[in-house]
Chains A and B, each alone.
Chain A
């Protein structure tokens, strides 16, 4: 919630700011929600000045309308498909992970969630990884964050360095993996805690913004909980459910199902297996 301060816009002087504070108007939101006529009377500021401040604030804080054609051309130039490293899982997602999308991989413990992430990262550099191990590892950054505040801070730092363009790693980054979201969100959900959903929504919005605005493919992993009967459903509750663009559900029988997608037909199932080389197709083993 941005506060009103001197320098926010040229028309806002120190005297006016003091007068506004006395009238109980502290944030941009308070200012925009109040009628300028009322403010003019209670705070004794000229109506004309208030209107010009309002106009500038509106222009500064509003979303910018983008024309459909620009959006289309932008999407065409920025969309890339990252191979997932396993043909069957790739087929499930129509080729692989798309940039501008958040993909969730949910599954029980030992169903291979982290294996999918590891394979994703490796398969961006071709199959002969051993020869390129050194070069490739320079292209993977690993951040440890053990609570939700650290995760949010790390993501905010990544976002600001992408915007500033001063870090060659982050400006060329294409894939962001968060393993796992349940580990940081589950402890703060439930009971009398009211912050949990707020932080979860905040984190989810941040991931969506990073993927859509900065053309990244984002992968998050999630645990599962017991649903009705013998079924499993993704953890974190119904408010998390509609956040990611795609969701793949893994089970212990090593079957992957696409349960949510904004662009593909649902409930396709594929089998995979986990070997020394990570996640692979079943047919290759036979």
Chain B
């Protein structure tokens, strides 16, 4: 299709070439410099290690306005498309995270100046307008939704971030007629959209290539999980796509549960975080 259709509509051209906003500020701790458009970032880790939580944290930072009535909110003011294959996305949880984030920023602001009354609800509503959620029942729906992305991005040129939670959701459903060409087709579509429209994609994957017995449970132990070379086919296929990948690991240290982000190739712990009622918090 792409070979023949060299013409495109004006709206598509603008969506494709229009200036994409800066993603600086989506996560100043993990991504110290801005993420260049065209990147595909993968987060992998076992269920319950906080992948969806960290995505909620990034969504909040993306959709919040930069400034509201003179208060710096630190957002990026860009649109996000969230593809929920796991059916775990909770809008109420996201609203809670956004609310805590806004209140925190307002408190910081108030220490400098006199009190101002801010309507938090309207900031939340304003921010939520920048979020689109798609829920997929099976891999066919996921595939076709990715095929439709081009149309969607043409209509909504502000979308600069796509999140897929998770790409491993339909693995077992497809396992019996697992067909590498289909997954490669899926990847091709995603790659093309990300490149053509210069957006950033975040993927989560609950498959890990980590041998769980090798990973220390206690903080005191040597804290480098060993990455085995045993890949599942679907994992290997998806791994080709990601330009950066991060591994999340949940560890138990006494009563608290910390999560560490690792770089899978170097196995160096990047940062430590914990999840509270107000969302993701990084600890030094």
Contacts and interface: CB of A to CB of B under 8 A. Distances in A.
Q: Is this pair of chains taken from one and the same complex?
A: yes
Interface of A: 1-2, 28-29, 32-33, 35-37, 47, 51, 57-59, 61-69, 71-72, 75-76, 79, 100-101, 194-195, 197-198, 200-202, 205, 208-209, 212-213, 238-239, 241-242, 245, 260, 262-263, 265-267
Given A201-B170, A213-B135, A262-B52, 5 more contacts: A28-B140, A33-B182, A58-B148, A71-B91, A72-B124
A57 B129 contact: no
Contacts of B127: 68
Nearest to A34: B185
B83 interface: yes
A68 B63 contact: yes
Contacts of B231: none
Contact of A198 (B172, B182, B276): B172
A209 B137 contact: yes
B90 A262 contact: yes
B129 A69 contact: yes
B31 interface: no
Contacts of A76: 92
Interface of B: 1, 3-4, 46-48, 52, 63, 81, 83, 86-88, 90-96, 124-125, 127-138, 140-145, 147-148, 151-152, 170-173, 175-176, 181-182, 185, 206, 255, 257, 276-277
A260 to B, nearest CB: 6
B145 A63 contact: yes
Contacts of B128: 67-69, 71-72
A61 B144 CA distance: 6
Of residues A195, A209, A262, A267, which shows the largest number of chain B Cβ atoms within 10 Å of its Cβ? A262
Contacts of B136: 63
A207 to B, nearest CB: 9
B92 A75 contact: yes
Given A69-B129, A194-B175, A238 B46 contact: yes
Given A29-B140, A260-B48, A201 B173 contact: yes
Contact of B175 (A36, A63, A198, A266): A198
B87 A212 contact: yes
A67 B127 CA distance: 11
